[in-house]
Structure formats: C-alpha cells, structure tokens
Copies of this chain bind each other. A is one copy, B any other.
Amino acid sequence: MKYRLLLAFGALVLTTLQSRADELAAWKDGPTKTAIVEFVKATTDEASSAFVPQDERIATFDQDGTLWVEHPIYSQLVYCLDRVPALVAQKPELKNVEPFKTVLSGDREAIAKLTTPDLEKIIVSTLTGMTTDQFAAEVAKWLSTARDPRWKRPYTELVYQPMLEMLKYLRAHGYKTYIVTGFGQDFVRVYAQKVYGIPPEQVVGSALATTYGYAKDGTPQLVKSPKLMLNDNDAGKPEGIHLMIGRRPHAAFGNSTGDQQMLEYAASGDGKRLSMLVLHDDAKREYAYGPAQGLPDTKIGTLTQALYDEAKAKNWVVISMKNDWKRIFAFE
C-alpha cells in the first residue's frame, strides 16, 4: 500500500510540474525559470514562511522592452509622429514650424536627429487638445492599421510570449498584475486588456492632466491638457506605484535604468521578493543592446553595466532573451 501511495504521489508531483512547465512553455528550463516557479511557490503556499495573502499579491511590469519591443523607437513615439499630419491639418500655422516641418518632410535621417525638446514638443501637441474619448478612438484606429518596420505586423503582436505566460502564471496564482510604464497610461490603457489581460485601472504610467468641462451640448467631458501630472520613470515609478496602488509590489519586472528604482523598491520589502531584469542580448530574434555586458549602446532602453551589477549583487534575476526564452513572439 505504501508503495502504491508513493507511486500516486509521484504521479501527482509529475503532473503538477508538467502543468507548471506548460504554463511557462516559452521558457527554457534553467535557473531563471526555476527562480520564477520558486518565488510563486514560496509566496502562495500557506505552509511557507514567505506566504503572502492573496489580496496583497501585486506584480508590476514595465512595458517597453519588458513586455513588448521598444526598438528601433518606442511605439507611442511612432504614434505621435504619425499624428503630425492630422495635427497640421487642424493647425495649418504649424506647417512651416520646426519640428513639425521636419516630420512632415518624411526625411527619416532628419527625423532620427530630432532633439529631446523637439520630440517633447511633438508628444505634447499630438497627445493634447482632444477629449479622452477622442484620444482613445484615435489610438485604437492607429493600432489597427500601423505596422512595425521589421516584422510588418501590428505593434500589439510584438509582445514577448514568455512574458505573456508570466502574466497569466502570476494571475493564476492570485497575483494582481500591473503595467507601470514610462509612456502614457492613456495610450496603453486602450489595448492593455486585449493584449495583456490587464484592465485600464491596472495600468500606471506617465500622465498629462485632464480638464473637466462641458461640450457645446452640455455633456461633461475630460480634455487632455499639456500639464505633466506624472513622470513615471526612474524614481517616478515607485512614487507612481504608491500613488496609484498604495502597496509595495512583491515582484517587479523591467529592462532599463528607468526601472531601477521600481526594482529596488519591490526587492526591499519583507519576505521573499522577485525583481527581474530583461537583457536584450538576442540580435537575431529581436535586438541586442545594453551597454551592459558589452552590448551596443543604442540610447533606447538603456541597461547600464552598473544596473546589471546591482542586479547580480542583490540576487535579482537577469533574463537573457537569448538563453532563457525558447520563443520570443507568439507568431514565430
């Protein structure tokens, strides 16, 4: 009888391990995958000293470079550039004014050389002056037609399959998953439910103010205005998490220096914590950039050697896209 019981128990363990493996099928077996499974096990098993009650399980994810592709340039920046013709049609006086003139020229080299203040001008002028409903409708329209330059696919297909599995895996174990993005929360909220299974109220991001008022027919509306409310980068990430969530996450995921403080904040709480850093070291299947570990410094999604070293010193987990991920995209 004992032998039979042992066999039954063995089969149960095997089934559990297999179903776990299936949930994270795009991850290669190895220390990275094990770290994820061990974290979830420790924080969700009532018998564990690191057990976290279900309503306190919070996991936060950077978006660009962590959940989806951020090269050659951030998708929301492409959206803003693509909106310039419509903006100039509404405000013809901008036609011969820089930086709008350069964007209208279509000269890719000149556009690539635009300065940060130029880009900020474009961002602010294309993201404001309309109601929140109009903005959401414009973004949805753009997402349905825009294609990225390399794979010629909608941007919303350029999400990392292993991270989608991670989101589902954490949710299946009672975690509430949040996006904490340096880009605009109004932008990401348009597709977060469909693409990531994350509802609008679980998207934290940079935000311009809105102004409450009334349309001509008296209907209440919110108009997007140029005042910056939240800059959700660097220290702004833990500050935004406190403002919008009010709890310290138990797990956090990022890929660049803009995520450093969020990863530190999550890692420094009591009990078992998981801070993960995606290393873009796969030039063939995606892109390779750092400059950590001698990877090229491309200025978009910078991961410094200092942050890489901090991760290693503090036992955060570095995800190598090349070595830890069997597949990068669902469409592969």
- The residues of B that contact A247 with a CB separation of less than 8 Å are 200-201
Q: What is the total number of residues of chain A having a CB less than 8 Å from a CB of chain B?
A: 36
- The residues of B that contact A199 with a CB separation of less than 8 Å are 55
Q: Which of A12-20, A94-102, A205-213 faces chain B? A: A205-213
- The residues of B that contact A210 with a CB separation of less than 8 Å are 239, 242-243
- The residues of B that contact A11 with a CB separation of less than 8 Å are none
- Check B201 against A244 for contact (C-beta < 8 Å): yes
| A268 contacts chain B at the CB level, 8 A cutoff | yes
| A181 contacts chain B at the CB level, 8 A cutoff | no
- Check A209 against B239 for contact (C-beta < 8 Å): yes
| A280 contacts chain B at the CB level, 8 A cutoff | no
- Check B212 against A246 for contact (C-beta < 8 Å): no
Majority secondary structure of chain A interface residues (helix, strand, loop or mixed) = mixed
B-facing residues in A249-267 (Cβ within 8 Å): 261, 264-265
- Check B189 against A246 for contact (C-beta < 8 Å): yes
- The residues of B that contact A176 with a CB separation of less than 8 Å are 201
Q: How many copies does the complex hold?
A: 2
Q: Bits for A112-146, please: 1 = Cβ < 8 Å to B, else 0.
A: 00000000000000000000100000000000000
- Check B55 against A246 for contact (C-beta < 8 Å): no
Contact partner, A239, options B189, B201, B222, B245, Cβ 8 Å: B222
| A290 contacts chain B at the CB level, 8 A cutoff | no
| A238 contacts chain B at the CB level, 8 A cutoff | yes
Contact partner, A246, options B58, B200, B243, Cβ 8 Å: B200
- Check A222 against B207 for contact (C-beta < 8 Å): no
Complex formed: what's the CA distance from A55 to B243 in Å? 22
Across the two chains, which residue of chain B brings its CB closest to A224? B242
- Check B239 against A132 for contact (C-beta < 8 Å): no
- The residues of B that contact A58 with a CB separation of less than 8 Å are 201
11 sample A-B contacts, Cβ–Cβ < 8 Å, listed by A number: A185-B243, A201-B246, A210-B239, A210-B242, A211-B235, A212-B238, A220-B264, A222-B239, A222-B242, A230-B243, A244-B244
Q: Which A positions have Cβ atoms within 8 angstroms of B?
A: 55, 58, 132, 176, 185-186, 189, 193, 199-201, 203, 207, 209-213, 219-220, 222, 229-230, 235, 238-239, 242-247, 261, 264-265, 268
